[in-house]
Amino acid sequence: MKNTIAERIQDFLKQFPPFNNLKKEELLSISAQIRILYVEKGEYIFKQDSQCHDEFYIVREGAVGLYRNFDSNQNLVDICDSGDLFGLRIMIIKKNYRMSAIADEESIVYAIPTEIFEPFIEENKEVNKFLLNTFATHARNDYTETEKGHRIDNTISIEVAKDLSGLRTISYRKKPITCSPDDTIRDIAKKMTNKRVSCMIIVDHNDYPLGIITDEDLRVKVATGIFSVTTLVAQIMTTPVFTYSKKVTVAEAQIALIKNNLSHLCITKDGTRNSELIGILSDHDLLVSFGNNPSVLIKETKRVKKLQKLRYIRKQVEKLLKSYLEQDIPTPHIINIISEINDALITRVIKLALKEMSSPPPVAFCFLVLGSQGRREQLLMTDQDNALVFEDVPEEDYESTQRYFLELSDIITKGLHTIGYEYCPAEMMATNPRWCMTASKWESQFREWIITPDEEGTLLSSIFFDFQYVYGEVTLADKLSDTVFDGVNKSNRFLGLLGISALKKPSPLGFFKQFLVEQNGEHKDTFDIKTRAMMVLIDAARILSLYNNLKGVNNTLHRYTKLAEVEPENAALFESCAKAFRVLIKFRTRQGLLHNDSGRFIKLNTLSKNDKLKLKRCFRPIRDIQEVLKVRFQLKSLM
Amino acid sequence: MKFWYKKRNKNYPDFWKEYLSLFEKKGSKLTFENIRFVAFDTETTGFDYVDDRVLSIGAVAIKNNSINVSDQLEIYLEQEIFNEDTVEIHGIRKNNELDKVTEKTALELFLKYIGNAILIAHHAEFDRRMINKALQRHGLGVLKNRFLDTSVLFKKTKHLVYRNDGLNTHYSLDDLCNDLKISKSDRHTASGDAFITAMAFLKIVSRLKKKGFDIKKIFL
């Protein structure tokens, strides 16, 4: 009997080893027995130390993280992308799971019954070989390795899980720029300038590495006049070079570089000097792999050509954030750095998307981020909220122009999703035709929200007025903010309505000064730090900034600082608001890192008594600032 | 009373009696995790409940948040009536090489397969009526199963701002695919659409849970 679904699964499986070694009918019979799991972010597929399931798994869509608990720390051991197998080793050994598999994002996973697959392990040589290889070397299958460029060695990590980063192999630059020993210095200097590289490997006719020339050599040996530019490179190159195989780990590379005072290592096929050069590893690559240097991360972001790599950088940013929080670096400073990297990531995604388009943009445009991203308060990756403005076009071209930008936005938002920004559930994204318009349409939309405010309008304006320019024609964004301020000056009613919505936010504490928790839904019994505490402070800062005509400040902390300047009589209150906000944002970030989510919903039982008191202290300024709004916009009668 | 009496006495085939018996006894306590759902789709010769016929039925079962490929059904029906216009959409020709069964056998297989599962379909009303008409042609009653419609469930997941974009917004299966990021391969085959519906169902349920809907209230 025909089985369309099994055929489709077969089509997917046959791309990946070991399934690509099976006959079509064999694979089809396996496919017909598969269970398709849908797992949400954070959901367990199996838990460490639990009895092993009678099935193993392959990721169809999304990503699954393998974690190992160690001293009550959960360490990420590996991330499985589409086509990666997991839970397989254990099926052969038949012991309890040694790691936990947790969905890193919404994922679809195929579960393959062990029973059905077992005969093939015994009978099919290729399958057997693949599995043995996997277990022996933990080499990730070749189809995904190039995509990721990094992997963590499972066997070793089990013993020394404490320092995983040192055991990871590093990604290196493939296809390095090379030249022959007979080239002149001038030739290679030109080549290096053209390709914008700081070093060049000299290879013989077999592509075996002979020596290396760096910027430093050119400075020290040539610019000083010791050698002339017509000298052959063979005379000034540093030789021999240090070579390693591509399996070199971070720790090994680091030791080699420091011990020999080098800036570059050559990667060759078998790791010796007498084999083909396949890549080059610089001290820069090493720094990137540590991920503790923001400027390196930004630099790396600008160079990356693959989204998967950006996703990896994003993971590094999280690590960076964690270490900053541990070191108690001031929150405003952390916010600045993380926002810079975020901007760089988004800009890179947009640039990559533009390259994918078949033609350049028909008119100038500008890409905006909204909400928390727009206010530059996004420490953890939350939803993506964004919009796109393009230059006015004649009526007859409108549709085709909009279609172009919608297509572009589609690629951008998908890219952002790939690197880890969730889609906005409310579709406040540039892929929505409502949020991808010409400048004049945006202006009239903004004016409409201000002049004839209704509930939807105030809701949307509180998101959209905090926009921040990221990429494109900056004047388009400037014009929009002029519209907002001009409009607001004429409408006190609008500010009043915004004020009401800020006052209507649910309060953080109940009558007995206890925390109020969510009553139902996914987040039942947790404390919603965003709506119950942070939103009021954010809203109040926005309203008062609009009232005082403070252009160009979006960040809530900056807004309070500015407000303290223009309203010195309230300076003390504004400062305490800013302080409260700093504490809250830190709380949220810590919670988010702890639970690998947005940190918005806090489980109160995970807080210490001290933490709870600290939180409660933040609520005082919230009440006070609400009073200020009530008085200023005469809201008492309206409530 | 008379009506009831008449119905009881009718000489139903065994498979229909068996099907009915599944709905008589009250089973153990149902939860989302232990209910068997069956997502299904029918391809038909057209959209007329009386004149058009079912060409094929595709169905796949869902239990405990996962789709069991081994628990699926794909049947093609022999055709008396044939509508040239719809062949282009789903490509099932009269008398092509697929194994085919009579309408009655198809119904028997289908009923045996679904049992008392909760049925899921996109724009379920259409599929329900097509099957019911076929059942009636063979002197049988109508489907007793509970039905869920993914187009209705999907609407509940939309943000309030968009839910009111015209009350009559209809979400097609293509809309769902785009919105929920489901691959559209095998669209317009019964099995392909059944599979997409199953996928959509799982994704919608998780979105509804996140929104704080009580899943039990929707299903049980």
Complex ipTM: 0.83
| Å between B71 CA and nearest CA of chain A | 8
Residue B92: alpha-carbon gap to chain centroid: 19
Question: Is residue A155 predicted with pLDDT exceeding 50?
Answer: no
Phi then psi dihedrals of residue A32, to 5 deg = -70, -10
Side-by-side strand order, sheet with A243-244: A173-174, A277-282, A264-268, A243-244
**Residue A133: pLDDT band with limits 50, 70, 90:** low
Q: Closest Cα to residue A371, out of A495, A468, A473? A: A468
Confidence of residue A110 (pLDDT cuts 50, 70, 90): very high
CB–CB of B212 and A111 under 8 A? Answer: no
Tens of each residue's pLDDT in chain B, 220 residues: 455 555 555 678 888 888 888 887 666 677 777 889 999 999 988 888 888 889 899 999 998 889 998 899 999 888 765 566 665 565 555 555 567 888 889 999 999 999 989 999 999 999 999 999 999 998 888 999 989 999 888 888 876 666 555 555 678 888 888 888 888 777 778 888 999 999 999 999 888 888 777 777 776 6
Segment 104-143 of chain B within 8 Å of chain A by CB: none
Q: Which of B57, B60, B66, B209 to mutate to test the interface with A (most CBs of A within 10 A)?
A: B66
φ, ψ for residue A159 (rounded to 5)?
-80, -40
Contact criterion met (CB < 8 Å) for B161 and A426: yes
- A-contacting residues in B 134-193 (Cβ below 8 Å): 159, 161-162, 181, 185-186, 189, 191-192
pLDDT at A145 over 60: no
Half-sphere exposure (CA, 13 Å, Cβ side) for A405? 28
Long-range contacts of B141-145 (CB under 8 A, 24+ apart): B141/B7, B141/B16, B141/B20, B143/B119, B144/B19, B144/B20, B144/B23, B144/B116, B145/B114, B145/B116, B145/B117, B145/B118, B145/B119
Stretch (H or E) spanning B61:
strand B54-63
Q: Does A406 touch chain B (CB under 8 A)?
A: no
Chain B touched by A33 (CB under 8 Å): yes
pLDDT score of A409: 92
Rounded average pLDDT over A566-579: 89
Q: Does B65 touch chain A (CB under 8 A)?
A: yes
SS3 A32: coil
With a cut of 60, say whether residue A149 has pLDDT above it.
Answer: no
- Three-state DSSP class for B41? strand
In this prediction, residue A157 carries a pLDDT of 28
CA-CA distance, A109 to A40, in Å (whole number)? 11
The answer, as to whether pTM is greater than 0.90, is no
Residues of chain B contacting A34 with CB distance shorter than 8 Å: 69-70
- Reported as type and span, the H/E element at residue A157 is helix A154-159
Q: Write down the pLDDT at residue B93.
A: 54
Q: How far is CA A39 from CA A63, A145, A147, A315, in A?
A: 10, 24, 23, 21
Shortest distance, CA A456 to any CA of chain B (angstroms)? 7
The CA distance from A391 to A514, in Å, is 52
Instruction: Please report residues of B whose CB lies closer than 8 A to that of A425.
Output: 159, 207
Could you tell me the two tokens for A383?
């939803």
Residues A246 and A140: beta-carbon distance below 8 Å: no
Collect all residues with Cβ–Cβ distance below 8 Å to A69 and sequence separation of at least 6: A48, A75, A100
- Count contacts between A and B (CB, < 8 Å): 86
The answer to which of A22-26, A96-100, A181-185, A555-559 has the lowest mean pLDDT is: A96-100
Whether A97 shows a pLDDT value over 70: the answer reads yes
Instruction: Measure B21 CA to nearest chain A CA, in Å.
Output: 29
Chain A residues touching B191 at Cβ < 8 A: 2-5
CB distance B206–A106 less than 8 Å? Answer: yes
* pLDDT tens-place string over residues A386-439: 999 999 988 888 889 999 999 999 999 988 888 888 887 777 888 888 889 998
Instruction: Give me the phi and psi of A631, to 5 degrees please.
Output: -70, -45
Cα of A498 to nearest chain B Cα, Å: 18
pLDDT tens track for B68-97: 988 999 998 887 655 666 655 655 555 555
Q: Report whether B30 contacts B215 (CB < 8 A).
A: no
